[in-house]
Amino acid sequence: MKIGDLARAGGVSVETIRFYQRRGLLAEPPRGAGARRYSQDDLERLRSIRAAQTAGFTLEEIATLLGLDHDDRAAARALAEARIAAIDEKIATLRTMRAALKDLAADCARGGDGPCPILGAFSIPPKPNRANNQTRARRA
């Protein structure tokens, strides 16, 4: 199959395939008497890359996984456990972010005097007062 066929079958763009080739994740078949031809094995490798990305592996980790022997359980497990730890850390960070935003939204909903606490938390300056700007423009 041609690169466009491989891309469609793998659910990616042609540029993604080229990117994977530059990163060494996919081989670039030799050019014969015309367009490069990709095999079913290339499609399976592409699908493996995509599945590993969906599981959260980085491209570097995927390259390592692709280089492992199928019976190298210890190395595969170590990569998976490291990825799980990184995901757990992200989840903890996201939970903290969610709680902070939830508190800010609740403070904003309560109203009160002064600027919105959401905007204040991110130091977003208030918009200039239109009346003052118009008065300044008339004076000039």
**What's the pLDDT tens digit per position in 37-56?**
999 999 999 999 999 999 99
pLDDT above 90: residue 22: yes
What pLDDT was estimated at residue 133?
54
What pLDDT was estimated at residue 137?
53
CATH classification of the domain holding 2: 1.10.1660.10
Cα 75 from Cα 72, distance rounded (Å): 6
Cα 13 from Cα 3, distance rounded (Å): 9
User: DSSP E strands: which ranges in 13-140?
Assistant: none
Across 21-38, b (16+ Cβ under 10 Å) vs e yields eeeebbeeeeeeeeeeeb
The residue range of the domain holding 94 is 70-140
Q: Which of 67, 101, 123 is the last residue of a domain?
A: 67
Closest CA to 23 of 55, 56, 54, 67: 67
What pLDDT was estimated at residue 46?
97
Whether residues 60 and 85 share a domain: the answer is: no
Whether residues 139 and 84 share a domain: the answer is: yes
Average confidence score pLDDT of the chain: 90
**pLDDT tens readout for residues 75-99:** 999 999 999 999 999 999 999 999 9
Report how many domains make up the chain.
2
**pLDDT tens readout for residues 94-127:** 999 999 999 999 999 988 787 888 888 888 777 7
What pLDDT was estimated at residue 140?
55
Per the structure block, which two tokens stand in for 97?
A: 């972010």
Q: How confident is the model at residue 26 (pLDDT cuts 50, 70, 90)?
A: very high
Whether residues 11 and 59 share a domain: the answer is: yes
